[in-house]
Amino acid sequence: MVSMKDLSKSYQLGEQQQTVLKSIQLEVQQGDFVTILGPSGSGKSTLMNVIGCLDTQTSGQYTVGGKNTADMNEAELATLRNKQIGFVFQQFQLLPRLSIIENVELPLIYSKVSKKVRRNRAAYLLERVGLADKLTHKPNQLSGGQQQRVAIARALVTEPSLLLADEPTGALDQQTGRQIMELFTQLHHEGKTIIMITHDEKIARYGSRIVHLLDGEIREERGQGV
């Protein structure tokens, strides 16, 4: 599903070059729930941006769904991002003026799906995440945990093959964070491929595999088995 070979990423800051990802080797199989665990500044978000085709590596190879991203143009990458990858962020990133159901429908607006099918699919997903009674609410009328559930429903609406989450519990209290992780676990058991980034070891343990990132290097990888 996702394969990185000897992948590095550097930033040029004036005269200095900072290498943020160093010779990363990473294989994620379909159905995996991989957590990437590392402290602040270790390169987690940079890695997530490359995995999500929001940014490109400086060297090495990145293949997603059997396609080498170096062979794809910007339009092809945008299609891949929109259709194959569902994104969940720490700060939810919902549009404040739209209702909950409109937020969830939004990724389908760019597809050929009819309005009725869009509505039904968004309503179904909101029901699945326990928000069937909130469809016409605005994001600021919901708690943080509820807003993250909306964001997860939105990420799933295009039926992506990969769900990518960057610190999805980072803005939530512990108990709410655990509930969100239980939702990810449920999605994993249904066969979703998930890559989640966190600095929190307890949260990382929800994954079936933990990849440790330290100073831009993958240091350790061990089986977990939830």
Ligand X SMILES: Nc1ncnc2c1ncn2[C@@H]1O[C@H](COP(=O)(O)OP(=O)(O)O)[C@@H](O)[C@H]1O
User: Hey, what amino acid is at 80?
Assistant: L
Please classify residue 72 by burial: count the beta carbons closer than 10 Å to its beta carbon, then call 0-12 exposed, 13-18 middle and 19+ buried.
middle
Q: Which of 127, 123, 120, 128 is nearest to 101 (CA)?
A: 123
Which of 17, 41, 76, 117 contacts ligand X by CB under 6 A? 41
- Binding of residue 16 to ligand X (CB under 6 A): no
Is the CB of 44 or the CB of 134 nearer to ligand X? 44
- Binding of residue 43 to ligand X (CB under 6 A): yes
- Binding of residue 42 to ligand X (CB under 6 A): yes
Q: Which does residue 73 touch among ligand X, Mg ion, none (CB within 5 to 8 A, set by kind)?
A: none
User: Hey, what amino acid is at 99?
Assistant: S
Is the CB of 45 or the CB of 84 nearer to Mg ion? 45
Q: Which residues contact 173 (CB under 8 A, 6 or more apart)?
A: 144
**SS3 for 159?**
coil
Which of 3, 8, 19, 46 contacts ligand X by CB under 6 A? 46
Rounded Cα–Cα distance for residues 218 and 141 (Å): 40
Which of 35, 42, 45, 146 contacts Mg ion by CB under 5 A? 45
Total chain residues near ligand X (CB under 6 A): 11
Q: Which does residue 42 touch among Mg ion, ligand X, none (CB within 5 to 8 A, set by kind)?
A: ligand X
Which of 38, 60, 145, 207 contacts ligand X by CB under 6 A? 38
Rounded Cα–Cα distance for residues 82 and 131 (Å): 24
Contact present, 84 and 162 (Cβ < 8 Å): yes
Q: Which residues bind ligand X (CB under 6 A)?
A: 11, 13, 20, 38, 40-46
